[in-house]
Amino acid sequence: MRPRWILALALALAAIVALVLFVRRTPEPVAPPAVVEQPPLEAPAETPAPAPEPLEIAEAPASTREASGGESSFVDPGSIEFPGAKIEAEVDDKSPPVKLHGTLSDENTRQPLPDFELEFEVVGEGQGPHRKVATKTDAQGKFECSEPILVARCVVRFLDRQGHRRLPPPWTVDIDDVRKAELKLVVPWGPIYRVAFAPKDAIAATEVELRLRAGPGRGKGGWTSDWEPVHAGEPLWVRFQPLMGVNGKLEKLEARTRDGLWSGEADASTASGFAPGVTLVQFEARAVLAGNVTDGEKHPVADVDVILEAKDAGEKPIKRTARTGADGTFRFERLSACMGTLRVVSVRHAPWSAGVTLLAGQEQKLPIELAPLPIAGAIHVRVESESGLYAPAFQLVLSLENDPVAEAGGERFTRQLRAQWSEEAGRKVANFVFPELPKQVFRVVAQKEDFFVWDPQQLTLQAPAEDARILIRDGVPNASLAFRAKDGLSGEAIEGFELTLEFPGAHWAPRRMGARSGQAFLEHLPLERPLNWRLDAVGHAPALGNQSAFQVLERREDGELRVCELELRAGWGESYRFIDARSRSPLKNIVVLLDGNEAGKSGLSGQVLVRAAAQPASIEYKCDELGIPPRPLRAERRTGCSADVRVGPGQPAKGKH
């Protein structure tokens, strides 16, 4: 989302205009009667829609379905701040609390948003009455809070319904608008579909959830929205959140029942506002396979792999995998009628399998009892560094050397433990114990983010193992790195900036990160490891360099800190790397023209850094040696320190062949 200014225009006495200033960049006027200061959203493409028919709204039960099959749950932190903006508190202690009321409509269509949960909260710390109220819109998008709230700057959260993912982030309502109590809220939201289901008598509307599906966009995979419940009414209807991040064409409206026994779909027609007419969703009966896995003592067995391999009536293969929960249960939903084999695989139990026949419209439950394997013992691993001082954050991952479940397409067996450092005889060590393992061969690998060699890189062990050891080779010369940046004219410190890091010769992709002046952005980098960097600060041309730029040495308790002190030029700048479009080899002596003036020439690496007081209106390049007249410069999207420019062949110079 790109920041912008939003002006909230309120009329008072027909002559006074109150401008509410928000967000961080160029002001963009918004037509009245908006009174909300909002962080910007990418508005979905508008689709003409007919005027909405009146919706008779009844209470819809909240969904109790747990996320499964790759759907992640969302936890809203409930913060009254959002990234990039600090909301200042402002309270009028002399005015009595007010009951907020008003309307809520869709910014994309200007149509009302019915049956919509809203939450208002006073900005600032502290407890007390009249600081937080909630309400819900009626069928015409109108709302009225039953409890009063302080006259203060508030945030409003658009919940849609309780417990739902909260998009967009909270917006502010200015104190003057709260004082008037009447609000006309406008928020961009997603489409509304009126729906009907067939077969009508078999589908309980309150048990149906729907989502939108888009086809893959250019270079992208397919997209689906969150599952949304059906709202009661005549006709039934469903509302979706703003469709952000959709690259492909909107294709289908998918539906499922919460019990997993029915699924269906229909063509999707609208990306915003009301979809025309009533969309008929045709359902088909499906099968459900559920089970409970226990051991010989009837205790639930958690975190074991369950694999279903079957074929439907048309001999189409079906393969589904799952892992048991803490209570030992698993569940496969919305299956075609099929016959096949169910397998359960556990590293601590003997394999289990059975044939299954699943019928459409029916749920089959299986009690499964696993026979435990003899426990051989635990695997112990000790990790320490050569210096005895180095104690990084990392974790050890234990997996099977030969994992039949993973080979069959299921989840790989893994156990992960985070490092807990302690001190023994003046040395820092991390001891790991993986308990109660059968007599099988396991692999142990460290997941780390440092630059040292860990010896060995992985361990192959059979339980029990008592004396396994990993040694971190930190004896090589190394240092942590930091920048101190300031404005070249004023000398004022530049506290925050963005870094791009390249590690020539390594198999890592370039890193991009935020950093702060004086704070280490890389810890314990071996001095023999090459590093290229780029620093970008707002309002300044970028700076580029390598590890040799860190000349100021400081001592820390855990080693050496090397600092690069930079003076940045105000203005615009960019680094380009010119490469042959066919061979991908670098091209030297390519001249960059900014508004027709020569600004720099590429060197042996093909790179050139150009700067200007302001962003130029035109950027071109030329090369007399290659017979290239001035051409518009079109760079690829930058991923490293420089943006690549692919150069096609030019015309050979006269007298040369």
Which residue type sits at 190? G
Q: Are 353 and 343 in contact (CB under 8 A)?
A: yes
Rounded Cα distance between 463 and 438, Å, is 7
Q: Are 290 and 365 in contact (CB under 8 A)?
A: yes
User: What pLDDT is stored for residue 605 in this prediction?
Assistant: 93
Q: Does residue 399 carry a pLDDT above 60? A: yes
Rounded Cα distance between 550 and 566, Å, is 10
Rounded Cα distance between 613 and 485, Å, is 19
Report the first-to-last Cα separation within the chain, whole angstroms. 52
Q: Which of 20, 23, 67 is nearest to 168 (CA)?
A: 23
Which pair of tokens denotes residue 250?
A: 């909107």
Q: Does residue 60 carry a pLDDT above 70? A: no
CB-neighbour burial class of residue 158 (10 A; exposed 0-12, middle 13-18, buried 19+): buried
Would you list the DSSP string of 256-322?
EETTSSEEEEEE---SSSEEEEEEEEEEEE-EEEEEEEE-TTS-B--S-EEEEEEEETT--EEEEEE
pLDDT class of 637 with cuts at 50, 70, 90: confident
User: What pLDDT is stored for residue 169 in this prediction?
Assistant: 63
Q: Are 8 and 20 in contact (CB under 8 A)?
A: yes
Q: Does residue 157 carry a pLDDT above 90? A: no
Range picked from 12-16, 388-392, 592-596 for highest mean pLDDT: 592-596
Q: Does residue 244 carry a pLDDT above 70? A: no
**Which stretch of DSSP H or E encloses residue 454?**
strand 453-455
Q: Which of 378, 377, 384 is nearest to 469 (CA)?
A: 384
Is pTM beyond 0.85? Reply is no
pLDDT digits (tens, 9 = 90+) for 446-485: 999 888 999 999 999 999 999 899 999 999 999 999 999 9
Which residue type sits at 448? K
Rounded Cα distance between 180 and 12, Å, is 10
Decide: helix, strand or coil at residue 202.
Answer: helix
**Which stretch of DSSP H or E encloses residue 121?**
strand 117-122
In 15-108 the beta strands, taken as DSSP E runs, fall at 16-20, 27-28, 36-37, 101-106
Rounded Cα distance between 41 and 330, Å, is 39
Average pLDDT, rounded, for the chain: 83
Tokens 């009414």 found at = 233
Distances (CA, A) of 516 to 154, 449, 482, 485, 497: 32, 20, 8, 9, 6
Q: Which residues contact 329 (CB under 8 A, 6 or more apart)?
A: 290, 291, 292, 293, 300
Decide: helix, strand or coil at residue 567.
Answer: strand
Q: Are 445 and 397 in contact (CB under 8 A)?
A: yes
pLDDT digits (tens, 9 = 90+) for 554-566: 998 878 999 999 9
Q: Are 459 and 468 in contact (CB under 8 A)?
A: yes
User: What pLDDT is stored for residue 7 in this prediction?
Assistant: 31
User: What pLDDT is stored for residue 233 in this prediction?
Assistant: 86
Rounded Cα distance between 328 and 302, Å, is 5
β-bridge mates for residue 553, sequence order: 562
Q: Are 309 and 302 in contact (CB under 8 A)?
A: no
User: What pLDDT is stored for residue 49 in this prediction?
Assistant: 36
**Which stretch of DSSP H or E encloses residue 175?**
helix 175-180
Which pair of tokens denotes residue 464?
A: 């029990």
pLDDT digits (tens, 9 = 90+) for 342-371: 999 888 888 899 999 999 999 999 999 999
